[in-house]
Amino acid sequence: MLKKVWEEILKYENIVLISHVNPDGDTIGSSLALFDVLKQLEKNIYLFNTSKALPKKYSFLPNYEKFSNVLPPKIDAVIVCDCATFERTGIKRGDYKVINIDHHSTNPSFGDENLVFKNFSSTAMVVYKMLKHNDINFSKDAATALYVGIVDDTNFFTSGNLDSNTFLNVSDIFSHGADINLVSNRLTQNVPLARFRLQEHAMNSVDLLKNAKVAKIIIWQNDLKRTGAKREDAENLANIMCTLVSVELSFLILEEEDGAFKVSLRSKSDSIDVSKIAFKFGGGGHYGAAGFESSLLDPEEITLKILHEYDKEKNVVGL
Ligand SMILES: [Mn+2]
Q: How far away, in angstroms, is 82 Cα from ligand 1 center?
A: 5
Locate the domains of the chain by residue range: 2-188, 193-313
Which of 278, 220, 221 has its CA nearest to residue 251? 278
Return the pLDDT at 149.
Answer: 98
- Asked, colleague to colleague, whether 2-188 and 193-313 share their fold, the answer is no
Q: How far away, in angstroms, is 96 Cα from ligand 1 center?
A: 24
Return the pLDDT at 269.
Answer: 76
Q: How far away, in angstroms, is 284 Cα from ligand 1 center?
A: 11
Q: How far away, in angstroms, is 319 Cα from ligand 1 center?
A: 37
For residues 306 and 265, what is the distance between their CA atoms, to the nearest angstrom? Answer: 10
Residue-level length of the chain: 319
pLDDT, averaged per 10 consecutive residues of the chain (319 residues), comes to 97 98 96 98 98 94 98 98 96 97 94 96 97 98 98 92 94 98 96 96 98 98 97 94 96 96 92 93 91 95 97 73
Where does the chain have alpha helices with state H?
2-10, 25-40, 123-133, 140-153, 164-175, 180-188, 193-203, 221-227, 237-241, 274-280, 299-313
> Per residue in 12-23, pLDDT tens?
999 999 999 999
Return the pLDDT at 315.
Answer: 77
* Domain 2-188 class in CATH: alpha beta
Q: How far away, in angstroms, is 221 Cα from ligand 1 center?
A: 26
Q: How far away, in angstroms, is 119 Cα from ligand 1 center?
A: 11
> In a 10 Å sphere around its CB, with 0-12 CB exposed, 13-18 middle and 19+ buried, how is residue 200 labelled?
exposed
Q: How far away, in angstroms, is 316 Cα from ligand 1 center?
A: 32
For residues 307 and 265, what is the distance between their CA atoms, to the nearest angstrom? Answer: 12
Query: What is the b/e burial string over 7-40, where b = at least 16 CB atoms within 10 angstroms of the residue's CB?
Result: ebbeebebbbbbbbebbbbbbbbbbbbbbbbbbe
| Longest CA–CA separation in the chain, Å | 64
For residue 277, the one-letter residue type is: I
Q: What torsion do the CA atoms of 103, 106, 111, 112 make, to the nearest 10 degrees? A: 100
Residues within 5 A (CB) of ion ligand 1: 26, 82, 123, 153
Return the pLDDT at 161.
Answer: 85
Return the pLDDT at 159.
Answer: 84
Q: Are residues 92 and 72 in contact, defined by beta-carbon separation less than 8 angstroms?
A: no
> Per residue in 31-84, pLDDT tens?
999 999 999 999 999 999 999 999 999 999 999 999 999 999 999 999 999 999
3-state secondary structure of 240: helix
- The torsion angles phi and psi of 16, rounded to 5 degrees, stand at -115, 130
Return the pLDDT at 270.
Answer: 81
Q: For residue 94, give Cα distances in angstroms to 21, 71, 78, 203, 312.
A: 19, 11, 10, 45, 41
The CATH classification of domain 193-313, taken from the options 3.30.1330.10, 2.40.240.10, 3.10.310.30, 3.20.20.70: 3.10.310.30
Task: Name the CA radius of gyration of the chain, rounded.
Answer: 19
